[in-house]
Chains A and B, each alone.
Chain A
Amino acid sequence: MSIDTRPEARPAQPVNRPRPAVARRRRTWGNPLAGLGSLVWLVLVIVPLYTLVSSSLMHQDEALNGDPLAFPTNPTLDNYRTVLDSGFSTMLTNTAIVAVATVAIVLVLAVPVAYVAVRTRSRLSGLAFRTFLLGVAIPAQAVIVPLYLLISKMGLYDSLPAIILPTAAFAMPVAVLILSGTMRDVSEEMYEAMALDGASPLRMLWQLAIPMSKAGISTVAIYTALQAWNGFLFPLILTQSEENRVLTLGLFNFMSQFGVNIPAVLAAIVLSVVPIFAVYLVARKALVNGLMGVGGK
């Protein structure tokens, strides 16, 4: 695993000049407790990941009888072959479709909502914003029974839209929250300047608000894509057939299908991470900085 080890990009720092001195000072005294804690956590993160990869390369009898922490004595890719031969590519394609469609829907719908929430003073927009704020607290499980009814009535049961539509809806609140957070930072003077030039609201959105909130938009895209990639409940309840199976559900099925063939199960897990891990390697900074902003200010 080669991980990009370049230091973080420095986000905008309001006070730049005196900062290094303080940072150095704090480093010298250090924070031994947090440092030690982070080392412990590092072990807790690495051991499972190491076992995941190393056991997925073992022959089955070695994985079952040997020391699970040892290196594979005789590494094999058979497990990966087994998984790839059992419909993995369909699931991968389905998951990618779900993720891309969900992100598209969320961006198209959430950007105007956030823009209105930030730019309009009406009572109604405030109410809408609060509804979305509360929407963060609505668990998907709470509505899964009616969604089952709704999706069936719409004739969408066991189709990819059955996964996409609710997933997008449930990603909306956080999206609106993040987007309104970034859009709020666009200064009022810029809007005023554009207004004096006679720009329409649409032009202001398109040429000012959206370009200025690129960071928030990429955060939303990433967060939503991860949600869609991760989704399990909606696919479990709202789809059925093999042709509409997404990765998470496929993994779950592998578990019963392969039984005690633990190396094959682990290989399936590794394969399911590969695409998103590739994205991570390419877009690590955007990903990390984006998610960092979710907490708001």
Chain B
Amino acid sequence: MPHVSSYTKVRGGRKAAAGNVGRPPVAWALPGIVFFALFAIVPLAIAVYLSFCHWDGLNSPTSVGTANWTRLFKDPEFRQAAWLSLLLTTISWAFQTPVALLLGVWAAGRQRSRAVLSAVFFVPLLLSTTAIAMLFHALLDPNFGVIKEIGPWFGIDPNVLGSSTGALLTVAFVGGWQFMPFHTLIYQGGTRQIPQVLYQAAEIDGAGMFRQFFHITLPQLRNTITTSSVLMIVGSLTYFDTVLIMTKGGPGTDTTVLPYLMYRTGFQTYDLGYAAAIATALVVVATALSLILVRFSGFGNMRSTREGM
């Protein structure tokens, strides 16, 4: 490849040279692609293969045909887990997006107070998921936690992790608590990139705050919303640490979301073939949702912004 470009330079004069010379050979991307493939794409293929096997983690996997998949579609636990995962994702998205969007747009202003507040908002991002789940596990302990003091003020039963709705909502809330700063920052960055001219034009036309928000800010943030939503959806479909630490999938199986079911099946009962089937189902759902979102919002066209290339 490099030979071709230097050859063109010699023959093609200045214009052609400027077009082709100095373009890096595609081979430069190979190490990165191979590495990513080795630990992400190839395992994905193996997961599909293992989903047609029985494997206890010790002996070699043995093929069992479609047994895992027929079992999967009949398994009430899987159905419940899939439903809970979708529910958790929906709740998380519906809760986090408006709050992060508003906080982000608000924080995009440059006043001193906002800088201070943003600094505080940021702190949860510094704690690991494990730390946050453990913190809330302690805070929500019905006997010792803050919840026994504060809960009654808002009519919340202190044993919130013991009720099925409460536990699921708590997991969604704790996830939001952790990732809100991240999404807020994304929206803050997105908002700051909106050309001020648009607002000035709107002011001249007499558009008020709400019209400006709905007709300028929101449409301009379209790609940001997509990015944030894809990350949010994939993120909440895969809540695992939080569930393992806070509820262990309980009460009963009421917070046993797909990743936790996969973990339990694979690494506690060592039914790794079936776990691979669950994992494959999970990736199908995550990819489908992201693709729909990306297509729906035209985010895949981002390459078209490469003008003159």
Chain A: residues with CB nearer than 8 A to chain B? 3-8, 10-11, 13-15, 18-19, 22-23, 25-27, 29, 31, 33-35, 37-38, 41-42, 44-49, 51-52, 55, 63-64, 67-69, 105, 109-110, 112-113, 115-122, 124-126, 128-150, 165-166, 168-170, 172-173, 176, 184, 188, 191-192, 194-196, 199-202, 204-205, 226, 229-230, 232-233, 237, 247-249, 251-252, 255, 260, 262, 265-266, 269, 272-273, 276-277, 280, 284, 287-289, 291-297
Contact = CB atoms under 8 A, between A and B. Distances in A.
Contact of B109 (A4, A26, A69, A192): A26
A114 B290 CA distance: 21
Nearest to B183: A295
A18 B280 contact: no
B36 to A, nearest CB: 5
B84 interface: no
Contacts of A112: 24, 28-29, 31-32
A113 to B, nearest CB: 4
A38 B106 contact: yes
Interface string B289-301: 1110010000010
A47 to B, nearest CB: 7
Interface of B: 2, 9, 14, 17-18, 21-26, 28-29, 31-33, 35-36, 38-44, 46-47, 50, 57, 99, 102-103, 105-107, 109-112, 115-131, 134-139, 141, 143-146, 148-150, 177, 180, 182, 185-190, 192-193, 195-197, 199-200, 203, 209, 223-224, 227-228, 230-231, 234, 237-238, 240-241, 245, 258-259, 262-263, 266-267, 272, 275-276, 279-280, 282-283, 286-287, 289-291, 294, 300, 302-303, 305-306, 308-309
Nearest to A173: B36
A19 B40 CA distance: 46
B188 A292 contact: yes
Given A5-B116, A146-B47, A201-B24, A294 B275 contact: no
Contacts of A201: 2, 22-25, 28
Nearest to B103: A38
B119 A170 contact: no
Nearest to B25: A201
Contacts of A140: 238
B240 A262 contact: no
B126 A277 contact: yes
Q: Which 10 residue pairs spanning A and B have beta carbons closest together? A: A292-B189, A169-B39, A295-B186, A146-B46, A143-B43, A146-B43, A142-B283, A34-B106, A113-B32, A109-B32
B227 A169 contact: no
B43 A38 contact: no
Contact of A294 (B177, B186, B282): B186
Main secondary structure on chain B at its contact with chain A?
helix
Q: Which of A121, A139, A255, A289 has the most CB of B within 10 A?
A: A139
Contact of B146 (A4, A68, A176, A184): A68
Contacts of A68: 139, 144-146, 148-149
Nearest to B225: A295
A248 B46 contact: no
A84 to B, nearest CB: 16
Contacts of A184: 305-306
Contact of B303 (A126, A137, A143): A126
Contact of B287 (A105, A122, A134, A170): A134
Contact of A51 (B122, B139, B182): B139
A166 B188 CA distance: 31
A35 B282 CA distance: 38
Contacts of A18: 196, 200
Contact of A265 (B26, B128, B138, B203): B138
Contact of A119 (B24, B50, B105): B24
B241 A232 contact: yes
A147 B231 contact: no
A23 to B, nearest CB: 7
